[in-house]
Structure 1
Amino acid sequence: MTLKIAKRGTVAPFIVMDVLRAANEREAKGDDVIHLEVGQPSTGAPQKVIEATQKALLSDKIGYTDALGIAPLRERISQHYKDYYNVDVPAHRVVVTTGSSTGFLLSFLCAFEPGDKIGLTAPGYPAYRNILRALGYQPIEIEVGPDTHFQPTPEILDNLGVDLDGLIVASPGNPTGSMLSTADLQILCAYCDQKGIRFISDEIYHGITYDQRANTAVEFSDNVILINSFSKYFSMTGWRLGWMVVPENMVRPVECLAQNMFISAPTLSQYGGVAAFDCMEEAEANVALYAKNRELLLNELPKAGFTKLAPSDGAFYIYSDVAHLTNDSQAFCRDILEKTGVATTPGVDFDSARGDHFMRFSYAGSFEQMREAAKRLQAYLK
């Protein structure tokens, strides 16, 4: 007898992970791969993070922590908002999580009821859509493009014809790297407060910007849920450590959910997280590397035929319209990997309606890898 699989387990795959698997299989056979598919920094965790975790490993039993996280880390995150953004965020509103992914789960479960409608941009991070569907919510994809800098506006939301219960916004965004201006973020926060829409601000790429600093949404509203992570700016992807800033009345509900579902974030990683904020110089050196990679690809990709590129204000992605090259981005990316060894991500991961003629390049790797990738892509499309 074959037992059923619950519908929540039949969500769409996170295609970038499928691409990564194919790239790893290629490497296992002895063929080289240049990884432009996954948003993972090529650098490791900062040195002081390593030292702090080594010390903790020798001196602490590494047991459970409070579900909301260790006090020194919550206090250090609170201080970061004062130092970096000049915004007061009380430590008791900070929730330490197992990466940003746990933050999204806790946010959705605490803020929405089954059947609620949550808006998210297309193109946008696919895990939002897939997690929402798995949990019984209705993701409402909001098509955005160059005319609004790939970000939502009140006008677009007014014309949806749907009363939203929530809105997820990332600035800088994935896959486009686009950012909201200070004024536009403030307007969007005010709009959501006025309409009773729960605003969830994905800020995991904060710190990785090139022409302007990103603003935090908690500067403009006490009702927003903010989600951030140590993965990108601090190069700590495998440490699985993130945080949330939640409204006052949501602290205890989030704590209860976290207690039951996750116990606590990894203890060793939390000790490392405290030290991460003393490593800004090292993190900024990484951002300088991304800026160099970005400049190279923005100059070289058009020479390979990738001429329609999204803004890439921040993060480490370039999103390209490739309608003049293909109408099947998945097959196109597979062919590029097979013939050049350059792994890229098809746009269908980020936009179910229009992604067949888009693709994403990640420039989180080394400068040498970016230069070689550009060379191979130019040869491929000669």
Structure 2
Amino acid sequence: MDVLARANALRAAGRSVVSLAVGQPSDPAPRIVREAAARALADGAIGYTDALGRAELRQAICGHYRDHYGLDVPADRVVVTTGSSAGFNLAFLAMFDPGDKVAITVPGYPAYRNIMKALGIEVVEIDLEGAAWLTAEALERVHREEVLKGLLFASPANPTGAVIPVDELKALVEAAKQMGIRTISDEIYHRLCYTADDVTALAFDDDVTVINSFSKYYCMTGWRIGWMIAPQRLVRAIERIQQSLYISAPDLSQIAAARAFDATSELEAVRERYLANRAMFADALPKLGFAFAAPMDGAFYAYCDMTRHSNDSMAFAAKMLDEAGVAATPGRDFDPFEGNRYMRFSYAGSNDDIAEAIRRLTGWLG
């Protein structure tokens, strides 16, 4: 946030800044989505919905699981949320009590840690120690010491973009189940896997809680709309918490999101641009002294070791912004232990933005 605030200040002062910092698509929501929202807004009947969400959208999400994963998910397990952020809140509140130990991986999305700490949940951070993903063996070692109540992981991951191979994912989910660990799978970057097909954790354990969102692949970040697939035994508790915290997800966004699954051709064109940006980064970043800390298998991030240039990612990010006009995210956001050595670059922007950022960094770093 400090980097973004500085970038905005520079832009306001007339400086040209290329942002590789923000984890959101630069494209608008698909046309069919915006048209549905415009019609609904013109009709004016925008209000509260059932706490679990509009029936039309919940059925559309079920159709997505049939078409994309080959899974039959009943509509009564689908909860529409105010973005994935609300989904995490609802899952944590329904699944855990204050003092419970829940494991996350480092590096990882910082909001996991922040939300759980605010709720009084004890966060156990598993250092991947250079590995790209968490393994069943590593989870078992930590569980022997910590006696975990929960596990949260993401594939593709933020900030690394790493995708857990299907055999490793199956082993991890099954190991957690055998140890009585309740699992949350963050799948918000699904449909942005570049090296393998999407595989949901639900394929290996029907009791997993899955969080997903329309923000990333579907380009609906500001619409604040997401979903979760919850175990049947948790749905009523989640519904009651949703009623108290949010009432429901925004009605207008729900109406629009129901059409997102019909916009595949438009969205795949955006995905192709990410692939082109990814290729540019794969070629340029190592030449510029940024070594990949994990394979760019999915999402739209490159997480790099930058110790060739600095051991202080915060200071380096500020210097890069001021002198080169390129904004990126310091690793300290994602790893409180070793994040000073890393930088996250987002390639969710336009092809021209990525090319210009590379040109500026090449000139700046020589």
TM-score, with length taken from structure 1: 0.94
Aligned-partner SS, 1:113: coil
Q: CA–CA distance in 2 between the matches of 1:85 and 1:108?
A: 25
Return the offset for 1:94: 0.3
List per-residue Cα deviations over 1:99-137 (Å, max 9, x = no partner).
000000000000001011110010000000011111101
Q: CA–CA distance in 1 between the matches of 2:76 and 2:312?
A: 48
Q: How many residues align?
A: 364
Aligned with residue 234 of structure 2, among 219, 235, 250: 250
Aligned with residue 222 of structure 1, among 206, 209, 220: 206
Counterpart check, 1:154 vs 2:154: no
Partner of 2:164: 180
One-letter identity of the residue aligned with 1:208: L
Return the offset for 1:339: 0.4
Contact 1:76/1:274 (CA < 8 Å) preserved in 2? yes
Aligned with residue 238 of structure 1, among 219, 222, 233: 222
Counterpart check, 1:304 vs 2:285: no
One-letter identity of the residue aligned with 1:99: G
Aligned-partner SS, 2:254: helix
Return the offset for 1:305: 1.3
Partner of 1:4: none
Matches within 5 A, 1:68-217: 68-146=52-130, 148=131, 150-160=132-142, 161-217=145-201
Q: CA–CA distance in 2 between the matches of 1:64 and 1:381?
A: 53
Partner of 1:7: none
Return the offset for 1:80: 0.4
Aligned with residue 66 of structure 1, among 50, 74, 99: 50
Q: CA–CA distance in 2 between the matches of 1:190 and 1:310?
A: 24
Contact 1:121/1:142 (CA < 8 Å) preserved in 2? yes
Aligned-partner SS, 1:360: strand
Contact 2:225/2:254 (CA < 8 Å) preserved in 1? yes
Partner of 1:294: 278
- After TM superposition, the structure 1 stretch with the greater mean CA deviation from structure 2, 19-28 or 334-343, is 19-28
Matches within 5 A, 1:264-275: 264-275=248-259
Contact 2:100/2:121 (CA < 8 Å) preserved in 1? yes
Q: CA–CA distance in 2 between the matches of 1:285 and 1:308?
A: 26
Counterpart check, 1:280 vs 2:264: yes
Q: CA–CA distance in 2 between the matches of 1:322 and 1:250?
A: 43
Aligned with residue 35 of structure 1, among 5, 13, 19: 19
Contact 1:171/1:203 (CA < 8 Å) preserved in 2? yes
Matches within 5 A, 1:342-361: 342-361=326-345
Aligned-partner SS, 2:146: coil
Q: Runs of 5+ in structure 2 lacking a partner? A: none
Return the offset for 1:49: 0.1
Which aligned runs of 4 or more in structure 1 are off by greater than 6 angstroms? none
- After TM superposition, the structure 1 stretch with the greater mean CA deviation from structure 2, 292-301 or 58-67, is 58-67
Partner of 1:330: 314
Q: Runs of 5+ in structure 1 lacking a partner? A: 1-16
Return the offset for 1:223: 1.2
Q: CA–CA distance in 2 between the matches of 1:308 and 1:56?
A: 45
TM-score, with length taken from structure 2: 0.98
Identity %: 51
Counterpart check, 1:55 vs 2:39: yes
CA RMSD of aligned residues (A): 1.0
